[in-house]
Amino acid sequence: MQAQEEPLKFFLENNYLRKKCTKCGMSFWTLDADRTTCGEVPCDPYSFIHNSPTSKGYSLEEMREEFLSFFEKYGHKRIKRYPIVARWREDVYLVNASIYDFQPHVTSGKVPPPGNPLVISQPCIRTVDLDNVGKTGRHLSVFEMGGAKSFNFPGKEIYWKDKAVEYSRLFLEHLGVDRNEIIYKEKPWFGGGNAGSAVEVMVRGLEVATLVFMDMIEDPSGEYEFDGLRYRKMENRIVDTGYGIDRLVWLSQGTDTIFESLYPDLVKKLMEEVGISTPKFLGKFIAESSKEDGSEQKFLRALSEEDRETMEKLLQIYVLADHSRSLTFLLFDGLVPSNSKAGYVLRMLIRRSLLSLQKLKLNGGLWPLIEIQEKRFGSLIDKRLERSAREIVHLETERFNELLSKGDSLIIKHARNGTMSEDDAVMLFQSNGLPIEYIRERAQVLNIKLPESISKFKGFANQRIEGVEKEKVGIGSYPATRKLYYEDERNFEFKSKVVGIEGNKIILEETSFYPEGGGQPSDTGYLTVNGTKHNVIDVQIINNVVVHTLDDADGIMKGDYVSGFVDVERRDRLMKNHSATHILLSSIRDVLGLHVWQSGAQKDPIVSRLDITHYKDISREELKAIEMRANQIIRMNLPLHKEFVDRDKAEENFGFTLYQGGIPAGNSLRLVEIPGIDAEGCGGTHVDWTGEVGLIKILRIEKIQDGVIRFHFTSGKSAVEQDQMIDDELMAIKEEMGSDPIQSYNSMRKEISEVRRALASGTKDHKVRFGKRMIRLIETDEVIANDVSRSLGDGVGIVISKERIRVASGRNDASALEILRLIESAGLVKGGGNPQFAQGKVLRENLDWKSVKEAIIHH
């Protein structure tokens, strides 16, 4: 609790004593007059191992149901779990606490909670302690957080601190825990943009719950500070209790580690396959690991070589048990691996798991373990994603095996004089995808020294998105604009009153001009005032006020009545392309799978684009099937239902695919539904029937980053225009190439080959010494320079043309980038690259091979 707050009545009325821990100095509440420590490791050891305080042992499934049923009995509404990928949020990628389900919309009071009070058991992912998974016997990457929540809004009080603490004691007593063994440790809490006082609940050394009393919101000018962030008090007060369902299972069973409690069958199966049994010293190891000072590593080093090998194998088994469950939830929630954002977490969890399989010499692959978890957690996941999940694991395994085949050479290449810097090690992790533990192990084998700091490097942090766009500001205070474009999307002419003028920006009482939003550009057109025409060149919405930017606002006065005229042609094309975006996305999901998620979109009157997540290249056959399906939906001429609905009800009916196009604020959501095809929260303008779109034509696709593919497409009249333009281009090519285009093409190829041979005959090939090696230094024409550099194979060479320099290296002992830097230091070129290939611009006119050779030899 915060120091300035009064002690809870519950503690005072139930004879609890407030003490200060003699080891960590933190305050805690207890019924034990003789207690001097706070009840949490390392201040107190685990005393529940082989000595459970509960009346019986629970499995994970049993404990989840026990928790949910208990709070249901006390009036809490049971809520289904949310996706582990935070689709409804713009500030985080993954859910790592149950309160994330309700931030920021519910906690801010903009959206009512789906129940009040409510109870949920939410799967969560935390990567901040990923390196400790398996090593300590208690850290997890995936866990279920039982959340009992109470949302207290002004004028609507549900329950606050005292009742929350009372419920926690009642629940633990319900499990059979003696109230005298329950300790409440005070500790401030912050996360996800909110903060508040809290108490952690301890039983026999184990933290089993945190009771958070959230009454602050992040504010740079706030008076309270936690971990460098400032907060202010908010009107809403939220009880956010997080019970560790997995930890409660461990408490109830009292096994040596949490893994034997959570995954008894899987751990036993893997131990049998590896040929080990539970070591007698396992309990001692866990006791050492609970000290949180690295004592477990000293303990391992003191073991015999045989015992240490057994323990190392067991720790890898724990990693596989944990990671396979994490992967199951991530894959079956539709996440796609990539080199950024949440997809990066998925990729690295797969790779860490594959390394563990490799260390254990298990050849069955990763998928059989995920299948076991899929079967166990089948009621919590969407099994329709099994095909994509299986394919992702197969493809990622192939990619990682290929990477590992180059792993040693990559490590050697980034080492200098037998030492690798921390920056290079981190780069191999972040850019190449080599897990840090793999780099550590291989560096040791290869006699390459790593800095001590790398042992403390954490490859992951909790995935929080930086730089989220804040609400637009910049105009005065005006009443919300009446939005005629929602009342009738084909009302292109209107009359309205001017309620504000700011420079060349005009605010009207009501408008038919659609403001930019949701990837759809604004309408354009013009306003007439007193017989004068003013062009509308941009429209934005700021705090629910529509702002029209004019080319010239001279002569317009506040209070004037204007006539507005929307550019009909532009609006019609945008409406068709926006509706086409929904149709196309649905068609892509139909063909490729439900893992597909919209990653971005930009509508345009002519050619629009749609970015989607996908884990492999799209074949020509798949592309044709997508286009065929999209145009089938158009021919079905289905209605588009457009209405403002309650957000909670929409989520309940359609799930979080509502937010494919973005996350709207507030409780009222504009639902655009094509019955049986697609339903999204969308503020854009749309046609009334799919048939009005006319035609969807996919022009091309491109991979814009790992795991993201961009569709360039058009629809309606624009699609016909694009088809006609393509026909014109083909006709021009045919006319240029004559009556037999194939013969003309072959003849042209032959001529090009002859030109290339002629140019190649003028290529000059020289030698230059680089270290202990002789490398090629080639002068050639720009037309064939790329071909020449690619032809070097495993060799090393410098290719100079009139305007460019290229350096290629197929060897570990000669870095292309290092060679380029030598030439650059002489002021001859400017460029960049990597150890395999580097290139740049030639700075000196008529640069010849002798100057380059001198620059290298001089070095």
What does the pLDDT look like over 123-137, one tens digit per residue? 999 988 888 898 888
Residue 454 DSSP code: G
Average pLDDT, the chain: 88
Locate all alpha helices (DSSP H) within 129-225, ordered by sequence. 161-174
pLDDT in the model for residue 752: 60
pLDDT, one tens digit per residue, over 766-795 is 887 777 677 888 887 777 777 777 777 667
Q: Which of 369-373, 506-510, 730-734 has the lowest mean pLDDT?
A: 730-734
The per-residue pLDDT for 469 is 46
Q: Answer yes or no: is pLDDT of 843 > 80.
A: yes
Tell me if 239 sits within 8 A of 159, measured CB to CB: yes
Burial of 851 (0-12, 13-18, 19+ CB in 10 A): middle
Q: How far apart are CA 20 and CA 29, in angstroms?
A: 9
| pLDDT score of 463 more than 70 | no
Cβ atoms of 211 and 171 closer than 8 Å: no
| pLDDT surpasses 80 at 177 | yes
Which of 358-367, 378-387, 824-833 has the weakest average pLDDT? 824-833
The per-residue pLDDT for 782 is 74
Predicted confidence band of residue 285 (pLDDT cuts 50, 70, 90):
confident
| Distance between CA atoms of residues 437 and 450, nearest Å | 12
CA-wise closest residue to 183 among 200, 164, 165, 162: 200
- CB count in 10 Å sphere of residue 499: 16
Q: Spell out the SS3 assignment of 378-424.
A: HHHCCHHHHHHHHHHHHHHHHHHHHHHHCHHHHHHHCCECCECCHHH
Query: In sequence order, which residues have a C-beta less than 8 Å from that of residue 679 and are 6 or more positions away?
Result: 650, 653, 654, 657, 658, 671, 672, 673
Of the given ranges (46-50, 458-462, 464-468), which has the lowest mean pLDDT?
A: 464-468
Strand partners, 766: 777
- What single-letter amino acid sits at 126? R
Does residue 91 register a pLDDT over 70?
yes
pLDDT band at 471 (very low <50, low <70, confident <90, very high): very low
pLDDT at 760: 56
Residue that has been written with the tokens 């005292």 in this structure? 162
Given this model, what pLDDT does residue 275 score? Answer: 95
Tell me how long the chain is.
859
- The yes-or-no verdict on residue 505 having pLDDT over 80 is yes
pLDDT reported for residue 1: 39
**Mutual orientation of helices 305-332 and 386-405 as an angle, nearest 10°?**
140
Q: What is the pTM of this model?
A: 0.81
- Beta pairing partners, 656: none
pLDDT over 60 at 470, yes or no? no
Which has the higher per-residue pLDDT, 437 or 77? 77
15-58 per-position pLDDT tens digit: 999 999 999 999 999 999 999 999 999 899 999 999 999 999 99
Question: What confidence score (pLDDT) does residue 689 get?
Answer: 96
Percent of the chain with pLDDT over 90: 57
Is 584's pLDDT higher than 90? yes
How distant is the alpha carbon of residue 82 from its chain centre?
16
Q: What percent of the chain has pLDDT over 70?
A: 93
pLDDT of residue 77: 97
Query: pLDDT per residue over 699-739, tens digit each?
Result: 999 998 889 999 999 999 888 888 888 878 778 777 777 66
Query: Mean pLDDT across the stretch 295-314?
Result: 86
Helix (H, G, I), strand (E, B) or coil at 18: strand
Q: DSSP H helical segments within 659-740, as ranges? A: 716-737
Could you tell me which of 313, 329, 290 has the C-alpha nearest to residue 142?
A: 329
- pLDDT score, position 473: 43
Pick 66 or 409 by higher pLDDT.
Answer: 66
pLDDT > 60? residue 527: yes
Cα separation, 478 vs 545, in Å, equals 7
If 0-12 CB within 10 Å is exposed, 13-18 middle and 19+ buried, where does residue 138 land?
A: buried
Task: Give me the residues paired with residue 564 across strands.
Answer: 494, 527
Phi, psi for residue 48 in degrees, rounded to 5 = -100, -10
Q: How far is CA 165 from the centre of its chain?
A: 35
606: CB partners within 8 A, 6+ apart:
573, 714, 718, 721, 722
Structure tokens at 166: 């009372």
pLDDT of 63 above 90: yes
637-661: string of b/e by CB count within 10 Å (b at 16+)?
A: ebebebeebebbebbeebebbbbbb
> Does residue 467 surpass a pLDDT of 60?
no
Which tens digit of pLDDT belongs to each residue from 208-217? Answer: 999 999 999 9
Which is more confident, 305 or 627? Answer: 627
Q: What is the largest CA-CA distance in the chain?
A: 102
Task: Identify the band that residue 294 occupies on the pLDDT scale cut at 50, 70 and 90.
Answer: low
472 has pLDDT over 60: no
Report residue 123 as tokens.
Answer: 């799967």
